Amino acid sequence: MNSKDFQLFCDIVKSRSGLVLTEEKIYLLESRLVPLARRRGLENLAALADEVRRYNDERLLEEITEAMTTNETFFFRDTKPFDTFRDVVLPQLLSARAAKKSLRIWTAACSTGQEPYSLAMLLKEQAAKMAGWRVEIMATDISHEVLEKAKAGLYSQFEVQRGLPIQLLMKHFQQVGEMWQIDSSIRAMVKFQPKNLLEDLGNLGQFDVIFCRNVLIYFDQPTKSQVLTQVHNILAEDGALFLGGAETVLGICDSFKPVDGQRGVYTSVNGGLMAATG
């Protein structure tokens, strides 16, 4: 691929999603965009770049962005954040919201839905403690294609074996041919909608817990700062922000502080979780 075409694709993806592609990611760009080009009857990426320059077709630009922003995910990814949510964050919020009995959780960049469904299964396991509570799990992603898959809740044998304990497969899934479908009662707990993290997030409302894991690593510094500032604005002051293992707010956004002893968990400097130390 010539450097002009590479730059064209990088600019499209950066301006629409914030994702920064460096030259060592050429292989990724090729592996994701060649199938897209073929689906449109184009021979190679040079022809795809020509198509973009010639027609500037909005749907094509969207497809290119979606192809580059679709990332791998799996159930209970990294395990620890879900343990922390269940054992540290949830008990505090159940106590703090005892009068209101309402919780809102957002998983940003949810991809094919494993993260929000992991939270939904985990909350269902806590049903005895949560009788009468209204819990909303909002799950968003920039890609319409992955959201369709997420809504269907249908996963391959390979996908259900990465991170999902067999007891939860037995309890919450049905076999459909060669696929496994998560039960409708779990699917009903999650509301999926498209959302670009570069857009205004204010209309999502306020959340008690936000999972924004393994997203910021793909952004440059100003974009990280912009997204974190918006996230702070819609997170309750005693709420919790979960980031990926390789991500931090330090040096990027001073509205958050780490929750003591809980790697990857942050809370607002204005209030914060009770366990947080300032």
Partner 1 sequence: MPSCLIVDDSKVVRMVARRILEDLSFGILEAEDGKRALTACLEKMPDVILLDWNMPVMNGIDFLRTLRNAENGEQPVVIFCTTENDMAHIREAISAGANEYIMKPFDRAIIEAKFSQVGVL
Contacting partner 1 (CB under 8 A), which of 158, 177, 188, 203?
A: 158
Task: Identify which of residues 174 and 233 has a Cβ nearer to partner 1 in the complex.
Answer: 174
Write phi, then psi, for 111 (nearest 5 degrees): 50, -130
Pairwise CA distance, residues 114 & 141, whole Å = 12
Pairwise CA distance, residues 109 & 118, whole Å = 14
Task: Identify which of residues 186 and 276 has a Cβ nearer to partner 1 in the complex.
Answer: 186
The residues that bridge with 182 in the sheet, in sequence order, are 173
Pairwise CA distance, residues 269 & 3, whole Å = 44
Write phi, then psi, for 188 (nearest 5 degrees): -70, -15
Contacting partner 1 (CB under 8 A), which of 7, 31, 79, 221?
A: 79
Task: Identify which of residues 84 and 223 has a Cβ nearer to partner 1 in the complex.
Answer: 84
Contacting partner 1 (CB under 8 A), which of 161, 196, 226, 248?
A: 161
Q: How many residues bind partner 1 (CB under 8 A)?
A: 14
Contact 110, 141 (CB under 8 A): yes
Please tell me whether residue 163 binds partner 1 under the rule CB under 8 A. Answer: yes
> Shortest distance, CB of residue 183 to partner 1, whole angstroms?
13
Pairwise CA distance, residues 119 & 273, whole Å = 19
Contact 165, 112 (CB under 8 A): no
DSSP reduced 3-state for 175: strand
Please tell me whether residue 169 binds partner 1 under the rule CB under 8 A. Answer: yes
The stretch near partner 1 (CB under 8 A) out of 15-23, 27-35, 140-148, 165-173 is 165-173
> Shortest distance, CB of residue 104 to partner 1, whole angstroms?
29
Please tell me whether residue 248 binds partner 1 under the rule CB under 8 A. Answer: no
Please tell me whether residue 27 binds partner 1 under the rule CB under 8 A. Answer: no
Contacting partner 1 (CB under 8 A), which of 167, 203, 251, 278?
A: 167
Task: Identify which of residues 184 and 270 has a Cβ nearer to partner 1 in the complex.
Answer: 184
Please tell me whether residue 71 binds partner 1 under the rule CB under 8 A. Answer: no
Cα distances (Å, whole numbers) of residue 236 to 82, 103, 165, 252: 19, 11, 32, 20
Cα distances (Å, whole numbers) of residue 45 to 4, 14, 185, 263: 11, 18, 43, 41
> Shortest distance, CB of residue 121 to partner 1, whole angstroms?
14
The stretch near partner 1 (CB under 8 A) out of 54-62, 127-135, 137-145, 154-162 is 154-162
The stretch near partner 1 (CB under 8 A) out of 14-22, 169-177, 204-212, 227-235 is 169-177
Q: Which amino acid is at 44?
A: N
Task: Restricting to residues 95-134, name those near partner 1 by CB under 8 A.
Answer: none
> Shortest distance, CB of residue 164 to partner 1, whole angstroms?
8
Please tell me whether residue 184 binds partner 1 under the rule CB under 8 A. Answer: no
Pairwise CA distance, residues 61 & 8, whole Å = 11
Pairwise CA distance, residues 159 & 174, whole Å = 14
What are the residues binding partner 1 (CB under 8 A)? Answer: 74, 79, 157-158, 161-163, 165-167, 169-170, 174-175
